[in-house]
A and B are shown apart, each in its own frame.
Chain A
Amino acid sequence: ETGVTQTPRHLVMGMTNKKSLKCEQHLGHNAMYWYKQSAKKPLELMFVYSLEERVENNSVPSRFSPECPNSSHLFLHLHTLQPEDSALYLCASSHLAGGPYNEQFFGPGTRLTVL
């Protein structure tokens, strides 16, 4: 079990549904990340939060909406997704970049299927 947890682990939703993914880290980190992992593609960085402020948004469609209420929790709100959004969504956390210990720790991911 890692210090980063994600729920749910699996999610099947229709294109008109609204759902949320949750990530929680217990490592005292102050940066949190959402990644999308599709088959045969590199991990795609979606959003980065540092000290609860969004610092990176990699041209992600507005149907994905992140929220970081505090440095331990990160949400990804999903609305009117497309079938091509089906993927593994990984959350990660790290100490603030710039120091010597900036490796990321990943959660187990949410396997999302959009019908």
Chain B
Amino acid sequence: GENVEQHPSTLSVQEGDSAVIKCTYSDSASNYFPWYKQELGKGPQLIIDIRSNVGEKKDQRIAVTLNKTAKHFSLHITETQPEDSAVYFCAANDYKLSFGAGTTVTVRA
């Protein structure tokens, strides 16, 4: 099955700085790579996704990049704000998502 590794496990950034989270996957057949944000006591919220035929996608302050050859993908958050503080998960596969272990992001005011 698919195995997704996510780094770092924790990330502390100053407000206004950028945050980068990296994930690798094992199954070359995976074709869908979503990112979720989870706040305490809530379910994961889909924030952005990328499909295997695209190398990069942006949505305001967040962007994802995908390198299918190297089997890794990354989330970039620019101009971080305190409300960006949460746990972020990457995932891979198609309908049966395999998740990374999560990154706890703390934005310091």
Pairing of A with B? no
Chain B residues within 8 Å of A, Cβ to Cβ: none
Chain A residues within 8 Å of B, Cβ to Cβ: none
